[in-house]
Amino acid sequence: MDMQNRVGSKPGSGGVAGGSESNVARRERLRQLALETIDLAKDPYFMRNHLGSYECKLCLTLHTNEGSYLAHTQGKKHQTNLARRAAREAKDSATTGPDGKPRRSVIKVGRPGYEVTQIYDPVTRQRGILFHILYPEIGLDVVPRHRFMSAFEQHVEEPNKDYQYVVFAAEPYYTIAFKVPSREVDKQGDRFFTYWDPDLKKFTLQFQFKNERTLPSGRPGHFRQHDKQGSGAVNPLNPYQAPSIQPTYINK
């Protein structure tokens, strides 16, 4: 028998490690490897109690050390509870808004009526559009809203940089939008105004476009020469030449 090279042959050396010592060393090695990849400080369910032991707030389990908790997080019970928590949060987020308030379930009654008139100011030589949107069955204490939307914000039609949309919305009606030229709107004075008539249930919006150039005298000028009648070109804002403006329905 080789008495020189066997385990424990040197004076002061320990004996052969048993099964329990090997298991302890293996668990400690796995714990160190897990701590290198998992940050327990960012685990919302990891908690150390006043007794010095560790708890899982999700599963309500008690652990003597960090390695025991890490082994628990990879187990079936913890993974099942995580899946249940994620499903419950997804269900709650579907019924609540971004601010945490419950979303209202509104049954749509259809699309509102509308009247569109193309206007022209002979003094400033500005062209514009007048909208009358009818909401006969509008909700109680609901005021219609509107906004100008770029053609690249909508996904109903192909985007066209030459046009923009005027969007009208009021519950319980579907949201509608009208395609208008993509020109700057003049919001000075009475050239731009809105009005909601609660008795007639009618929302009014009127605006005028800014002219593209001014006359030498300083007064706003009219459109380019080819916009005049008889030139062969169609002016989309000329009520005698342009086709009627039809709405684009945002809600299909």
Q: What is the pLDDT along the chain (252 residues), one digit of tens a residue?
A: 555 565 555 565 555 667 788 888 887 887 777 777 778 888 899 999 988 899 999 999 999 888 888 889 888 999 999 999 999 988 887 766 555 666 666 778 889 999 999 999 998 899 999 999 999 999 888 999 999 999 998 888 898 999 999 999 998 899 999 999 999 999 888 889 999 999 999 999 999 999 876 545 444 444 444 444 444 455 555 544 555 566 665 554
Which residues neighbour 249 within 8 Å (Cβ) at sequence distance 6 or greater? 111, 156, 174, 175, 176, 177
Instruction: Give the separation between CA 19 and CA 35, rounded to whole angstroms.
Output: 24
Contact between residue 231 and residue 225 where contact means Cβ atoms under 8 Å apart:
yes
**Both tokens of residue 237?**
């804002």
* pLDDT given for residue 19 in this prediction: 73
Instruction: Give the residue from 194, 196, 168, 179 showing the smallest Cα distance to 111.
Output: 168
The residue ranges of every structural domain in the chain are 17-93, 113-212+236-249
Q: In what order do the strands lie in the sheet with 145-150?
A: 145-150, 163-169, 176-181, 247-249
Q: Which helix (H) or strand (E) holds 66?
A: helix 66-73
| Model pLDDT, residue 105 | 67
Which pair of structure tokens corresponds to residue 11?
Answer: 């004076």
Name the nearest CA neighbour of 81 among 47, 57, 64: 57
Q: Angle at CA 161, nearest 5°, toward 236 and 249?
A: 75
Region of residue 60 (phi > 0: left; psi between -120 and 50: alpha; otherwise: beta): left
The whole-model pTM stands at 0.49
- How much is the pLDDT for 144? 95
Say what the alpha-carbon torsion angle 48, 52, 53, 58 is, to the nearest 10 degrees: -20
pLDDT at 39: 80
In the CATH scheme, what is the code of domain 113-212+236-249?
2.60.40.790
Task: Give the three-class secondary structure for 89.
Answer: helix
